[in-house]
């Protein structure tokens, strides 16, 4: 999205977007250890741990199943392509950032009411 809300991007904005995509491609390539062109469960776990997220195998499975391009849940291949890898990583980061706003003592636990929960999730959808 253009920063000036004009509906178009200029050369400098395009250059910034290009660098952003290239950075993600390098990141993806570093974690696609088998060179398959997709990220499997093990590679996703390695990537998330490298980013500082200590997540369970169950959650990594959920993430893979959610972002598997080839199918939902058990019908999929169990891996994610580049674009879905980026989307999954950005989703984890933005939700984590939102969670941390409520986790004021940084203990990994929050207590929020229903409307606050909805607010946390809906803000991530925009």
* Residue 1 is assigned to a structural domain of this protein: no
Task: Assess contact for 2 and 9: CB atoms under 8 A.
Answer: yes
Q: Is residue 4 part of a domain?
A: no
pLDDT digits (tens, 9 = 90+) for 49-86: 999 999 999 999 889 988 887 655 445 567 899 999 99
Question: Whole domain around residue 59: which residue ranges?
Answer: 11-124
Say which CATH number the domain at 109 has: 1.10.238.10
pLDDT over 70 percentage in the chain = 83
Residue-wise pLDDT tens digits, 106-119: 999 999 999 988 88
Residues in contact with 121: Cβ distance below 8 Å, sequence separation at least 6, in sequence order: none
Residue 39, classed as helix, strand or coil, is: strand
- Counted domains in the chain: 1
Indicate whether 115 belongs to any domain. Answer: yes
**Within a domain: 79:** yes
Are 87 and 125 in contact, with CB atoms under 8 Å apart? Answer: no
Q: Look over the chain and give the mean of its residue pLDDT values, rounded to a whole number.
A: 83
The predicted-structure confidence for 42-53, as pLDDT tens digits, reads as follows 999 999 999 999
pLDDT at 1: 47
Q: Within a domain: residue 97?
A: yes
């Amino acid at each position: 999205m253009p920063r000036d809300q004009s509906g178009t991007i200029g050369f400098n904005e395009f250059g910034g977007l290009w660098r952003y995509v290239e950075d993600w491609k390098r990141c993806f390539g570093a974690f696609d250890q088998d060179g398959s062109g997709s990220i499997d469960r093990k590679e996703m776990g390695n990537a998330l741990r490298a980013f500082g997220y200590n997540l369970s195998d169950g959650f990594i499975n959920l993430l893979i199943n959610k972002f598997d391009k080839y199918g939902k849940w058990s019908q999929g291949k169990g891996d994610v392509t580049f674009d879905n890898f980026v989307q999954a990583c950005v989703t984890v980061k933005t939700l984590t950032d939102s969670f941390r706003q409520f986790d004021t003592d940084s203990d990994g636990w929050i207590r929020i009411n229903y409307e606050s929960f909805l607010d946390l999730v809906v803000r991530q959808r925009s």
